[in-house]
Amino acid sequence: MANFITSTQLEANRRALEKDRRGETWMRLKLASPAFLVVAVLMVLPLMVLLSMSLFGLDGQFGFSNYALFFSESVYVQMFINTFWIAFIVTAICLVLGYPVAYLLAILPSPWSGLLMLAVLVPFWTSGLVRTFAWLIILQRNGVVNKTLIWLEIIEKPLALVHNMTGTIIGMVHIMVPFLILPLYASMKAIDGNLMRAGANLGSSPVHAFFRIFLPLSLPGLVAGTIMVFVMCLGFYITPAILGGGKIKMIAQRIQESIALYPTWGPAAALAVLLLLMTAICLFVSLKIVRRLTLGR
């Protein structure tokens, strides 16, 4: 008798479940809302405010006059060229330095790979300010590098290594390399070692096997890491401000300075929007490429 369930009972049961499910969703929304509100109010909303501010010129008229400024004044043009050029050079150097490290990280046996990982992670965790200051000491006129080079009689007079482009690039590469190594390592770790062995078995030389098998399989991590480093370079602040000695102006400093110095914030807002746009485009392209590379397998 008790086995019989009437349709009204079923209906009641279904309704209770539905109510339960709704209650669950509501509870989850409530739990997630504080975090969401903080990020939405302090990041998403301000970015929209920036966009609207950038569209009103000095005269209060709606339009693109703030943006037109960037193409008419050579200071801005030079700053954009500088920013992209530095980001490009730094990314290229990071690639050359980072790829072999990630490769060894992926293939070394246990204790060694752990130590190498530590060597990548410790600087990753160290404050950028501290690292920038350390470079200031090392690269100064009578710093360690210049002293050593003079002692080795490679140069006669100390080189200008800091407060210029050279110092900026050395310091930025130092901060960015781990950001390239970590995603690269993740994608190399997933490569099946048997593939390389199979290649060798079929008569491929180590170099050939590397270029035909390993390198293509590490491409997703390579693209992701490279674009991440490039994007971070575009918006970088500390190192160019200190090691560039005021001579190297990148976009982030220009934004900060124009807010600190000028009463109207339209141009700064326009610069910020441009930086955001460039970042978004780079990330979007990287996502597309990585997706295509991983789907192509």
Partner 1 sequence: MESYVSHRERLWLYIFVGLVVFYLVAPTLIVIPVSFSSTTSLSFPPPGWSTRWYHEFFGQPKWIGSVWVSLRVATCTMIITTIIGTAASYALHQSSFRFANTIKVTLVSPLAVPSILIAVGIFFVYAATGGMLNTLTGVVLGHTVVAMPFVILTMMAGFSSYDMSQEMVARSLGASRFKAFTSVTLPQIKFSVATAMLLSFLVSFDELIISMMVASGPVSTLSRVTFATLRDDVDPTLAAVSTLMLLITSVPPLLLHIYVARTKRKER
Are 94 and 176 within 8 A, CB to CB?
yes
Residue closer to partner 1 by CB (options 150, 191) is 191
Segment lying near partner 1 (by CB under 8 A), choices 5-13, 72-80, 139-147, 150-158: 139-147
Binding to partner 1 in span 83-102, by CB under 8 A: 97-98, 100-101
Q: Helices (DSSP H) in 152-205: which residue ranges?
A: 165-189, 193-201
Are 85 and 168 within 8 A, CB to CB?
no
Could you say which of 2, 130, 202, 261 contacts partner 1 (CB under 8 A)? 130
Could you say which of 6, 8, 61, 142 contacts partner 1 (CB under 8 A)? 142
135-162 CB burial, b ≥16 within 10 A, e <16: bbebbbeebebbeeeeeeeeeeeeeebb
Name the minimum Å distance from CB 77 to partner 1: 20
Output the six-digit token pair for 133: 């200051």
Q: Does 213 bind partner 1 (CB under 8 A)?
A: no
Contacts of the segment 21-25: beta carbons below 8 A, 24+ positions apart: none
Could you say which of 95, 150, 283, 289 contacts partner 1 (CB under 8 A)? 283
Q: Does 204 bind partner 1 (CB under 8 A)?
A: no
81 contact partners, CB below 8 Å, separation of at least 6 = none
Cα 46 from Cα 112, distance rounded (Å): 46
Distances (CA, A) of 95 to 15, 173, 179: 59, 10, 11
231-267 CB burial, b ≥16 within 10 A, e <16: bbbbbbebbbbbbbeeebbbbbbbbeebeeeeeebbb
Could you say which of 9, 13, 25, 78 contacts partner 1 (CB under 8 A)? 25
Binding to partner 1 in span 61-80, by CB under 8 A: none
Name the minimum Å distance from CB 15 to partner 1: 19
Q: Does 290 bind partner 1 (CB under 8 A)?
A: no
Q: Does 190 bind partner 1 (CB under 8 A)?
A: no
Size of the site for partner 1 (CB under 8 A): 84
Segment lying near partner 1 (by CB under 8 A), choices 3-11, 64-72, 151-159, 173-181: 173-181
Could you say which of 12, 17, 45, 285 contacts partner 1 (CB under 8 A)? 45
- Binding string, residues 218-257; x marks residues near partner 1 by CB under 8 A: -------------xx-xx-xx--xx---------x--xx-
Could you say which of 5, 60, 127, 263 contacts partner 1 (CB under 8 A)? 127
Q: Does 110 bind partner 1 (CB under 8 A)?
A: no
Output the six-digit token pair for 254: 């220009």
